[in-house]
Amino acid sequence: MILHPAPDATIGKARLRVRYAETDKMGVVYNSHYLIWFEIGRVELMRELVHSYREMEEEGYLLPLAEVTCRYKGSATYDDEIVIHTSILKLRRSLIQFGYEVFRESDNKLLATGMSAHFVVGRDRQRRPLSDKYMVPFARAMGGVADTKAVSE
């Protein structure tokens, strides 16, 4: 399951080093940490595109998780340097889907791929459409799409 963004899409790159606490008895990263790494990649991509997720929350936008997948391709171990590539795969005013690829930096080995889909809601937990302040940079980041009217509701 490799999710392909558009060729000219913005790919966020977040780096981290595997901590000992993230590994199991065999020295391999425990599987749930990949989902945390996806979150790190997503938050850093959003910071690159539109300031910060905190700012979105302060403006009343929340992004609860609707779906997440992860396919493991290899193992990360203690002290590996990891790069998380994050992109926006699908965008609607009330739903955003992110794609992830996790690589070991030393040999560029693909360790995992994944996707997460997030509803856009207000503080009342009801669907709330994203304003153009967020839609425009998100649409541009998808590659080749700058007109928010071209992005489905």
| Domain chopping of the chain, boundaries | 12-143
**Per-residue model confidence (pLDDT) at position 37:** 98
> Under CATH, which architecture does the 12-143 domain have?
Roll (3.10)
Distances (CA, A) of 130 to 75, 88, 139, 153: 37, 15, 12, 10
Burial class of residue 49 in the structure, from the number of CB atoms within 10 Å of its CB (0-12 exposed, 13-18 middle, 19+ buried): middle
Distance CA(136)–CA(126), nearest Å, equals 22
- pLDDT (tens place) for every residue of the chain, 153 residues total: 446 677 778 999 999 999 999 999 999 999 999 999 999 999 999 999 987 889 999 999 999 999 999 999 999 999 999 999 999 999 999 999 999 999 999 999 999 999 999 999 999 999 999 999 999 999 999 986 545 554 555
Q: How big is the CA angle at 13 (ends 31 and 87), to the nearest 5 degrees?
A: 80
**Cβ neighbours for 9, distance < 8 A, ≥ 6 positions apart:** 87, 88, 141, 142, 143
pTM: 0.89
- What is the spatial distance between Cα 84 and Cα 64, in angstroms, rounded to a whole number? 21
**Alpha helix stretches (DSSP H) within the chain:** 33-50, 53-58, 132-142
pLDDT at 1: 47
CB within 8 A of 17, min separation 6: which ones? 79, 80, 81, 82
The CA distance from 82 to 88, in Å, is: 20
Nearest by Cα to 81 from 53, 106, 116: 106
